[in-house]
Structure 1
Amino acid sequence: MSKSLRVAVLGPKGQCGSCVVDELLSRGHSVVGISRSPPKAWPKSGEYGGIPCDFSDIKGLSKILSDGGFDAVVSAFAPPLANFEAVYTLGVEGHGNIKMAILRSTYRGPFIIIGGAGSLYYKNGVQLCDDESFAFKHWYAWPDVHLDYMSTRMFDHGQRAFGTFIRTFKWARSNRENPGWFSWMFRPFANWFLRSAKKTLTHRNTVGLIFCSRAALTMWEGVQETKWSFLSPPWQLRDKGIRTGKYEVHVDDTAGSAEYGIDNGIYNEDMAVAIVDEVENNKLTHKHWTCTGPIGLKDCTHQVLDLALSGV
């Protein structure tokens, strides 16, 4: 990097946006967080400022983008998860408003949109979110550690009911797949719960976030007026992890060249490294891409520490 950049981050408080802000500041860039109520200050040292703006105010956001002198813009927007029934509508409207604000502004620099894994293609040309029994069978294939992560994430978002649902899902799957001495006593309940879970996890409200992110991708495909790129995180995206600085980029197409992202993951901290590298280098303009990296390192670190403390 030859100079410090001024970068706007839409949605700086979320799990993706906050990691992007941290990474930008660590590299000496200037950051402006834009959201309805952005933080006024940032715990990490560096040049940070916040500008409040409701993304439904297209004219207001357009003016901020026109007047801000930004070298790059990163959208980490995601709709609130408080009401699953409204997630899809709020997500599509939010992404659409941001697109209109960008195109109506005078800003024409790099614009990176963070979407969802559901947009990634298998090699058979089917997108993940259009796969049969999405998302139940894909949850069923997740390792225990990722279900643990997802339940913790729901509790962090105040979604205690859904967090409890995920923990029960993990137990019911284990009861079926790894039976113990007394598992047969609870098998009827486990089977009943998994049948019910399938209805829940394939319901349009439950997968609203994934589908609104896919809609966001279709909004940008074919647009030439600005230097956008669209990042679909891998299916096992995790936060509160470790920054290793290691990642691989996979450019997506209908031939499934980024299918690797469907079965793998990355920590938000490393995904932020990939995003800021793209901010600085602009190699993926008009591309749909994902990135993968090492996961599970935090758990391994804790296991090694526990062993050391126990004297084993």
Structure 2
Amino acid sequence: MKIAIIGITGRVGSRIAAEALRRGHTVTGIARSIDQAKVPAGVQLVQGDATQPEQLAALVRGHDAVVSAAKFSVLKAAPLLQALKSAGVKRLLVVGGAASLEVAPGVILLDSPSFPAEYKSEAVPGKQFLDDLRAETAVDWTFLSPAALLEPGVRTGKFRVGQNQLLADEQGNSRISMEDYAIALLDEIEQPKHIRQRFTVAY
């Protein structure tokens, strides 16, 4: 498949690219500034501003899927969806956050007393992004929320899959490596199971 990744130079975006290349897909990386050293060998890196729908549409046209690993404080859902529709790309996968996951019935992590204030500048627009996607019926979107802790680590291929609730282990730890997160996202691209849905992964 031909996969375009927005936010390719970030820690998660670069690992998604590596997993896609590992599986034999063609990867186009979209970044505001070209820095080949920050992406895996084999990525076709192109310069572009994803917040500009016309510019983004020209870059993603002809791709089978678009992955957005951009910051929610920078890229909103509306221009992204507009660009995909204009380009005729049906499939969108979004690197989500954990803040919108439920920790109790009707209570999301973002609204819990223990949620760190310094994360809210990204978590609040992340929740809004998901809300905006849920109103979208033309694009086949998927929003993949990681566990509470998403860090560089080991590629194991062993993790649990959930829907809208935060997953934690018996000790109360909620974590997933970026490498295993990338596996879950590529699995969803290749064998879609969560069209117009959010899902989550954790150990």
Report how far residue 251 of structure 1 moved: 1.4
Alignment partner of 1:72 out of 56, 65, 79? 65
Partners of 1:41 and 1:49 within 8 A in 2: no
Q: Which runs of 5+ in 2 are unaligned?
A: none
State which of 184, 188, 192 in structure 2 corresponds to 1:282: 192
Work out whether 1:259 is the aligned partner of 2:172: no
Aligned to 2:162, which of 236, 250, 256? 250
CA distance in 1 between counterparts of 2:82 and 2:39 reads 32
Amino acid at match of 1:231: L
Q: For residue 56 of structure 2, what is the aligned residue in structure 1?
A: 61
1:220, distance to aligned residue in structure 2 (A): 0.1
The answer to whether the 8 A contact 2:6-2:50 is kept is no
Identity %: 31
Report if aligned partners of 2:9, 2:39 keep a CA contact under 8 Å in 1: no
Instruction: Map 1:22-37 onto structure 2 (within 5 A).
Output: 22-37=18-33
1:220-275 CA-to-partner distances (Å, cap 9, x unmatched) read 01311011010111101111x111111221112xxxxx232584110000100111
The amino acid across from 2:159 in the alignment is Y
| Structure 1 runs, 4 residues or longer, greater than 4 Å off | 40-45
> What is the rounded CA distance, in whole Å, between the counterparts of 1:263 and 1:98 in structure 2?
33
Give the drift of 1:95: 4.0
Aligned alpha-carbon RMSD (Å): 2.1
Cα distance in 2, alignment partners of residues 118 and 274 from structure 1: 19
Structure 2-normalised TM-score?
Answer: 0.89
Answer whether contact 1:234 1:263 (CA < 8 A) is retained.
Answer: no
TM-score, length of structure 1 as denominator length: 0.60
Please state how far the C-alpha of 1:217 moved relative to its aligned partner: 0.5
Query: Aligned residue for 2:183?
Result: 273
1:13 matched to 2:9? The reply is yes
Distance 1:7 1:122, change over 3 A: same
Q: Match of 1:76, as an amino acid?
A: A
1:220 to 119, 129, 133: 133
Partner of 1:123: 104
Q: Does 1:237 align with 2:150?
A: yes
The structural deviation recorded for 1:43 is 6.3
